[in-house]
Structure 1
Amino acid sequence: MAEVRSMFREVLPKQGQLSVEDVTTMVTCKPKILPLKYLTLEKLEKMQQTAQDTVCQQKMAEKENGK
């Protein structure tokens, strides 16, 4: 495989110590706000949907009985 040449070349000291500072630290960031629905809101939506369904069924039954 061909070597990839970099713009930077590696420099190592000829005297002294070579030290590497690679310390991982905790970084705080803003909390991500997700569009979540509350359980109560989901329950209310479900109740509203069932109520609409029953009203619709009652209207259909009245139409059938009225004929």
Structure 2
Amino acid sequence: MSDNRTTHIDEYLPIQGLLYFDEQLKYVISKPKIMPLKSLTLEKLETLQNEAQEKLKQQEKLGIDFQSTE
């Protein structure tokens, strides 16, 4: 004869009172997020500024004067 008995425990949920649940938090390490060094608006402003400076240099080479003509 072998004793292959299993014990069965019934669940008990109280109708009144407090029910506690102990949760253990574990840390999840995620990959670092790559952030742009410059924002898109800053890059757009820099390109506009560079284009304006290039146009100014080209006009200075051609001899166009921006001062008021009287």
| TM-score normalised over the length of structure 1 | 0.44
Q: Could you say which structure has the higher helix fraction?
A: 1
Structure ID, larger Rg = 2
